[in-house]
Amino acid sequence: MTRDQRPRRTRRTIVALVVAVAIHGAPVAAIDLLRSYELSRVNDGQLKVARARADQGREALPQATAQLWPNIGLNYAYGYTDQQRTFAGISDSQRYPSRNGAIQLRQPIYRKNLVAQVDQARSSVQGTEAQLDKDFQSLGVRVVGAYFDALFARDNLDLILVQRATYEAQLRAAKLGLNAGTGTRTDIDDIQSRYDLLVADEIKVRLGIASSTQQLEIFVGEKIQNLSTLNAPALRLDEYDPGKLDTWLERALMENPDMRVLRSKLDAAIASVEIAKSGHYPTLDLVAQYTESTGDSTNTLPRTDNNVGYIGMQLTVPIFAGGYVNSQVRQATAALDEAREAYDYAKDDLQLQIKKEYDTLNASIARVKALEIALVSGDQMVISTQKSVQGGVRTVLDVLIAEQQRFNTRVELARARYQILISSATLHGYVGDLNQEKVARINQVLVKAS
């Protein structure tokens, strides 16, 4: 084994070990973006938590509404009395059952706090639904981002393998040239140095593939073998033109799930103020009651039986509570101010985030156009440099530089294309319409892996 062969075999062994450690288990399925999204809606852990939280939050409204309906209660007690009495030396005893039962109906007629509680619960449920929608939008953005991160890592590896094959061919040619007396040791060292760095990059990229694939597997809930790849000609840039920024901003202020959550909190805070103020208001209830009891005996009767029916109105008027109600009103008003400020702040922050994503999408479209032109120029530059080397005008180092520039251009072009798709999905997530239809549209630019 020669000195040059030993490092090469060692490097290949390292790469093999890294791949074996990074990828656990045998993958069992190929998948595209749409299928990833559909599976994640069923299997994603965060979404399962969100659904359970929504089921819990929806119960606030029936609980509040129930307070407006009649409240009926029944109390019943049964016992046995064993009585011993002595008077003037005369004793007697009595034994008899004792029971007491009552049934009561209370129907609120006027309770300002109960009406406000229903309004508050309704706002809370609206916030719950908005939060669940937010979780669905977030899932879509996470899945799209994870899918294209994994796909970019694979594309990056493919480009590295092509570049490595090119360096290996150049390295062989440089060694043959040195043996023939037409090359230099410097050429070999330059190529070897770049080749070694490329091997190190390959290890890093393979680890990235394992990591990004595992992240996507967590979302979809199953192992992944292959991903559908990007069909670059199918990516029509004009279809992803975001149009006017104002349109996105207007839609986001109305439909963004975060803003809807905050609006519901603001409405709930307004209802909380009304609940606190209701402490100053009287309450009026309809009360109906029927009681039946058997009590202790008397001098004339062994026991007493009472049957009483009652129906009437009960009015309660608060007069003085030591300032407790006023304090509650101040507290609720402060909470309302907090909710209003949080809403205003979130509105400004949302506009900033949308503008950043909007600019990123536009810049990515322009960048793809520029990089496609640069790649054509880079291909021509490599050919021209190779011919110049043959003519003795350029050196092998010039070829390496041209090759590296073309490689970098390809990597950046792939990154920019994926960024278009991610930014488009993120913008739709901001306006609350990143749904299956939108994901299916993005999926159309993919082709099944061979």
**Does any domain span residue 14?**
yes
Q: Which residue has the higher pLDDT, 39 or 29?
A: 39
Q: How confident is the model at residue 110 (pLDDT cuts 50, 70, 90)?
A: very high
The rounded mean pLDDT for the chain is 88
**How many other CB atoms are found less than 10 A from the CB of residue 228?**
20
Rg (CA), the chain: 39
Residues 303 and 325 grouped into a single domain: no
Predicted local distance difference test score (pLDDT) of residue 64: 96
Residues 104 and 54 grouped into a single domain: no
Where residue 37 sits, what CATH number does that domain have? 1.20.1600.10
Task: Name the 3-class secondary structure at 278.
Answer: helix
Q: What are the phi and psi torsion angles at 313 (to 5°)?
A: -110, 140
Please name every residue paired with 308 in a beta bridge, in sequence order, or none if there are none: 291
Residues 218 and 301 grouped into a single domain: no
Q: Which residue has the higher pLDDT, 86 or 441?
A: 441
**Tokens 């967590």 belong to which residue?**
218
- Cα(432)–Cα(77) distance, rounded to whole angstroms? 58
**Does any domain span residue 438?**
yes
Residues 94 and 169 grouped into a single domain: no
- Residue 314 Cα to chain centre, angstroms: 50
Query: Minimal CA–CA distance to 229: which of 150, 316, 340, 300?
Result: 150
Domain tally, the chain: 2
**How many other CB atoms are found less than 10 A from the CB of residue 299?**
6
**How many other CB atoms are found less than 10 A from the CB of residue 240?**
20
- Residue 239 Cα to chain centre, angstroms: 27
Residue 110 corresponds to which tokens in the numbers above? 């006027």
- Cα(342)–Cα(129) distance, rounded to whole angstroms? 19
Residues 77 and 144 grouped into a single domain: no
Residue 134 corresponds to which tokens in the numbers above? 């937010």
Predicted local distance difference test score (pLDDT) of residue 87: 74
Residue type present at position 189: D
Read off the pLDDT of residues 244-281 as tens digits, 9 standing for 90 and up: 999 999 999 999 999 999 999 999 999 999 999 999 99
**Residue 211 pLDDT > 60, yes or no?**
yes
Residues 51 and 132 grouped into a single domain: yes
Predicted local distance difference test score (pLDDT) of residue 340: 96
- Cα(294)–Cα(186) distance, rounded to whole angstroms? 115
**Does any domain span residue 178?**
yes
**Residue 450 pLDDT > 90, yes or no?**
no
Q: How confident is the model at residue 444 (pLDDT cuts 50, 70, 90)?
A: very high
- pTM assigned to the model: 0.82
Read off the pLDDT of residues 298-321 as tens digits, 9 standing for 90 and up: 554 556 778 899 999 999 999 998
Residues 78 and 47 grouped into a single domain: no
Domain that holds residue 287: 70-110+282-317
Predicted local distance difference test score (pLDDT) of residue 302: 56
Say if residues 129 and 54 touch (Cβ distance below 8 Å). Answer: yes
